[in-house]
Structure 1
C-alpha cells in the first residue's frame, strides 16, 4: 500500500528470505564463508547457528546459489522426522531410487551406493538441514553414521546443520560427542551493530528502488537498533510498520514518534508496560483507504525543501548532507570516462585520451564492471567508479575509501566524506574498477596451457600454500586447478577452477601486489 507513496518497486522489509535483499554484514560474510569453506574441506559437518530472525536461512539460500557445479545438493527444511522418514527424504532430495517399502537398512544401502557412484563421477554431495534444533538425538546419530562412508582423502557426504542456539547445546551432550567431533567448521550469527543496522535499512530501501532523501534518516537509527536489538527480522517488522505509519500520517520520513508507535504495535506482547499511545488504524478498504490515498496524493504535490549546505561542510573530510551530493555530483562528474581516468590515477596510471578501459589494458590494467552494490565493493576492497542517480540525472564519482559508517568520494575535483546511509539510496549498484593483470594474461586457461600467466598463477598459489613454486613453463594441470578451486572456496569465490577477474583480484591482495585498497583508505584522505 505504501510502495507507491514512497516510489518503491516493492515492499523493502518483507520477512521472506529473498537473496536480493541479503545484507552482507561482516558477520554474514563470515557465515557464508564458513559454509563455502565446508563444502571444499573434505566432508563432515558444518554448523551455523543464530537467534531467530538473524538471517540464517537467507545466508543459506545465498550459499545454495554459489555452490560449485560439481556439487549435488539436498535441502531439508522440516526435520521433525523419524530416522526412516529422514532417510526417505534424503533419497527423495538426491533422487535416489530406493526399493519400495524399504526400511532403514534399505535406505542406507541405497544412499551409500549413490554416494560411491557420485564419487566415481567426480561429484560432491551436500545435505543441508534447516531448523536442525528440531532433530531428535537418534536422527542426529543416524546422520553421523551416514558420514562414515569415506575415501582416503575425504568423506563422501557433507552435512550442513543450520539452527537456533539450542542446537549447540544439543551437540554438547555426551551421547552426541562423536558427532560434535566431526564438526569441521562452526559459526554463530549474531545481531547487527548500530552502524550495520543503519546500513541494513539503507540497503533494503535501495534494493526496493528508493531514491532521494532517506525515508529513514540517520537520526532514527539508534532507536531502531534499541527496539530491535539488531536482529534483521525484528528490524524488518518494525520498519515495515513504520513505513505504514509514515504513509498514514502523510510523512515523507519516518520520525522518532512514528517509530515509537510502530514498536508499540509490533512488540506490544513483549513487555508488561501498557501501550499508551494511540494505534494507527488499519488502512484497508472503504472510507479509510480513500482518505489515506487522497492524503498520499496530496503529499506528492507538496514542495520539497532542499537542505542548505553549511559552509563548514566544505572542509576536507566533512560529512556532507544528501542534498549537497545530489547537487554537485551530476555537474562535476557527468563524464564517466573522466571519472575512470581519475580512478586510474589511484593506480599511478595516467591514461591518455581514448576509451579508458582499452587504454588501461595496454598498461596491464584491466577494467572490471559489476552490479552488486556497496557490499560487493566492500568485499572486493578496491576503489571504483560508481554510478549515482538523482531523479533522471546520472553522474559518476570515484569511491576512494570506506569505513563502517561513511565513504570517501572524489567528485568534481573535490574529496567528500558522505554517510553510507546517505549514499546508498543514490547508488544504482553499478561500478567499474581496475585490477593489475599478470603478463601475457589470457581470459581462459585450458588444461595443458603453458605461459607466463600460468607460471604467475602457479607461483601465487604455491606462495599462499607455503609450498615450492612450480618450475617455469609448467602446464595448467589438474593439480593447479584443484589448488585454484581450494583457494576460491576458502575466499568466498565461485569454486569452479576458472581464474576469472575476482580470483586475480583476491590473489593480488593476498600476495602483496601493490594496488590501492578501499577499506584502508577510509577517512584517511589518501
Structure 2
C-alpha cells in the first residue's frame, strides 16, 4: 500500500498489480483511496481519484466513467471531446499543485482497444511530469495480455509491476490472530498450530478462503462448546464447504502461536472472518510477491505531434546482475541488483532516485520497498552471522563507488562491482577497501509491522510468541517486557551466537527471520539475482 502511494504521489505514471482471485485486490484499491484521502488531510498534495470497478467498457464508456468520477462533463460520445475535457481538468489540478489517479480493477477484462486508450491517457503530461497516474489491477492472465506484441507500447510505459500471491504459513497464522483480536478476542478460543497449518494448506494462503474456512471451523467449535479449534475441526469445516486441498508443492511451514484473546464463547466468533472490514485486513497483511515481467526492450514511443522519451533499457546479464555503462549508472545498477536478489523486478528505473553520498540512498530505497535497514561495521564475523547480502561503498579498481556482497564464507567474500563485475576478496582486503558501513536489508518477522517498536502490548506479545515458537520463551505471552522476556531474549541470543544483552536488537530480529529472503553464506554461492526470481 505504501509502495503504491509512493508511486502515485511521485507521479511515476503507469503501475500494474496482479494477483489470484481472493487475494484482496479490490480491497487494496479501496484502501489506496482511503490512504490518499487521509494523507491529503495531513498535508500531502491532494490526489483526485477515479475508481473503475466495471472493466467491461468500451473506450468511450471508459472515458465517460473517468470524467464522471472527476465530476466532469461525461455525456459526450466523442473521444476527443471527453479527452479534451479531461486534459483541461488535469492541467488545472497540476497547476494548483494537485495530482490525479485512475485505478482500474479487474483489468484483465479490458479489450485491446480500451488498453490502447489507457496508453494514450498515459501520454497526458507536461514537460516535467505525468498529469495522471494509472493503476491497473487484474488477475494473473493480465500479465500475458500485456506481453502481446500489439500492446508492447503500453508495456513499455509501465513503471512498476507487482504480483500478489497467497500468504505464507507464518503470515496465515498472523492473519488469523489479527482477525480474532480485531473481533474482540482476548482469551480463546484459539487455533492450534496444526489447525493453522491445515487452514494454510487448504486455502493456499488466499485470504478469502482463509476467512471461509476459519469461519466454518469457529462455528463447529461453538457447536461443540470447545475453547480450541483443532485441525480435525478445520478438516471437517473443509468437508462441509466441499473443498479439497489441491496437490501442489508446499513452501516453508511456519509455526503459528496460540491465539491470545478473550472471548466468552466460540460461537460469538462465528462469522468473525466474514464480517465487515476483514478483507481490508487481508490486503494489509498480504505478502507482495514481485514477478519478472516479460523482457521487452523499450523503444521510442511517439504520438502525433508529441515527442515521447523512451524508458531506460536496463537488462541484466545471464545471471541477473546489472552492469553500469556510465559512472552515472553505477548506483542504479547496484540498487537494481540488490532488489533482484530479493525478488523485485524493476522495469522503469526512473522510479529510483539517484544514490546520494555514502549510503543514504540505499537506506531510502530499501525503506521505500518495505525493507528494514541496518548499518553495521564491515566485520566478517558479524556479517556472516547475519547471513544477508549487503551493499558497501569502497575503492574498487582505483575509484570510489558502491558494490554488493552476494556470497561469503569464513575466508572470502564475493563482491559484485557494476563496473568490473564479480570479484573475490579476502575479508581483510574488503575491510581495507571499504569506506563506511555495510548496509543490510531485511524483512521483519511476520506479524510485526515495526520490529523496532517491540516494547509492550500486542506487539511485544507477538514477539514473545515468536520466541516461544523457537523454544526460547517458556511462559504464557503477556505483552510485558519483564524478567522472563529478557531471559528468553538471552536464550535466543546464546542460541544464535549473539552477545548477551537481554534487549531487542536489529541483529536478533534479522536472525529470527533467516528463512525469508536471500542469504550470504556458501556452500552453493547460488544467491544470484536470477535465481531469486525463479
Pick from 114, 119, 132: which aligns with 2:89?
A: 114
1:78 Cα deviation from its structure 2 partner: 1.0
Post-superposition offset of 1:225:
1.2
Q: Assess if the C-alpha contact under 8 Å between 2:448 and 2:462 holds in 1.
A: no
Counterpart in 1 of 2:345? none
Distance 1:53 1:295 in 2: 25
Q: Say if 2:127 is the partner of 1:152.
A: yes
Matched, 1:385 2:455: yes
CA displacement at 1:295 relative to structure 2: 11
Q: Aligned-pair distance for 1:402?
A: 6.1
Correspondent of 2:483 among 390, 393, 413: 413
Provide, for residues 5-53 of structure 1, a one-character-per-residue CA deviation record: whole Å limited to 9, x for no partner.
xxxxxxxxxxxxxxxxxxxxxxxxxxx2331232133342101101111
Match of 2:201 among 226, 230, 253: 226
Distance 1:35 1:268, change over 3 A: same
TM-score normalised by structure 2 residue count: 0.50
The equivalent position to 2:148 in structure 1, one of 173, 176, 184, is 173
TM-score (structure 1 length as normaliser): 0.50
Contact 2:238 2:244 in 1 (8 A): no
Please tell me whether the aligned partners of residues 201 and 245 of structure 2 are also in contact (alpha carbons under 8 angstroms): no
1:94 aligns with: 70
CA separation of 1:398 and 1:133: change in aligned 2, threshold 3 A: closer
Aligned residue for 1:203?
178
- The equivalent of 1:212 in structure 2 is 187
Q: Does 2:241 correspond to 1:266? A: yes
The 1:162–1:388 alpha-carbon spacing in structure 2 relative to 1, beyond 3 Å, is closer
Partner of 1:442: none
Contact 2:195/2:232 (8 A) holds in 1: no
Q: Secondary structure at the match of 2:187?
A: coil
Aligned 8 A contact 2:170 2:446 in 1: no
Query: Out of 138, 156, 161, which is 2:136 matched to?
Result: 161
Whole-angstrom CA distance in 2 between matches of 1:163 and 1:115: 25
* Cα offsets for 1:266-325 (capped at 9, x unmatched): 2448889xxxxxxxxxxxxxxxxxxxxx9979xxxxxxxxxxxxxxxxxxxxxxxxxxxx
Alignment partner, residue 11 of structure 2:
42
Aligned to 2:517: none
Q: Which residue of 1 aligns with 2:58?
A: 82
Closer, same or farther in 2 for the Cα pair 1:146/1:384, shift >3 Å? same
Aligned-pair Cα RMSD in Å: 3.7
- Summarize deviations over 1:333-382 as a string: whole Å, max 9, x none: xxxxxxxxxxxxxxxxxxxxxxxxxxxxxxxxxxxxxxxxx999834331
- Could you tell me how far apart the structure 1 residues matched to 2:267 and 2:117 are? 58
Return the structure number with greater relative CO, CA threshold 8 A, min gap 6: 1
Q: Are 1:521 and 2:490 counterparts? A: no
Distance 1:235 1:377, change over 3 A: closer
Over 3 Å counting, the alpha-carbon distance change for 1:148 and 1:517 in structure 2 is farther
Post-superposition offset of 1:107: 0.8
1:1-16 paired onto structure 2 within 5 Å = none
- Out of 52, 60, 72, the residue aligned to residue 21 of structure 2 is 52
d(CA) in 2 for partners of 1:377, 1:243: 22
Which has the larger Rg?
1
Q: CA deviation at 1:401?
A: 10
The structure 2 residue matched to 1:255, chosen from 230, 237, 246, is 230
User: Which whole-Å CA distance do the structure 2 matches of 1:296 and 1:201 have between them?
Assistant: 16
- The alignment of Structure 1 onto Structure 2 pairs a total of residues equal to 295
Matched-pair contact (CA < 8 Å) for 1:43–1:156 = no
In structure 2, the gaps of 5 or more residues are 41-45, 248-264, 269-443, 474-478, 490-502, 513-534
Task: Give the drift of 1:386.
Answer: 2.0
Contact 2:221 2:266 in 1 (8 A): no
Alignment partner, residue 141 of structure 1: 116
Whole-Å separation in 1 of the counterparts to 2:175 and 2:24: 12
3-state SS, counterpart of residue 385 of structure 1: coil
Say whether the 8 Å CA contact 1:401–1:518 is kept in structure 2.
Answer: no
Q: 2:31 is paired with a residue of what secondary structure?
A: helix
Q: Which whole-Å CA distance do the structure 1 matches of 2:210 and 2:4 have between them?
A: 25
Q: Distance in 1 between matches of 2:147 and 2:224?
A: 51
Alignment map for 1:78-477 (pairs within 5 Å): 78-98=54-74, 100-268=75-243, 378-387=448-457, 411-415=481-485
Note the C-alpha offset of 1:154: 1.2
SS in 2 for 1:48: strand
Structure 1 residues 154 and 517: alpha-carbon distance in aligned structure 2, compared to 1, 3 A threshold: farther
> Residue 517 of structure 1: CA displacement?
6.3
Shift of 1:65: 1.9
Conserved in 2, the CA contact under 8 Å of 1:215 and 1:254?
Answer: yes
Q: Deviations over 1:62-101 (max 9, x none)?
A: 2222224221111111111111111100011111134x43
Structure 2 CA distance for partners of 1:86 and 1:218, relative to 1, 3 Å? same
- Unaligned 5+ segments in structure 1 are 1-31, 273-293, 298-373, 390-395, 420-515
- 1:26 maps to none
Moved over 4 A (4+): 269-272, 294-297, 374-377, 396-410, 416-419, 516-519
Cα separation, 1, equivalents of 2:169 and 2:200: 6
Native 8 Å contact 1:125 1:157 kept in 2: yes
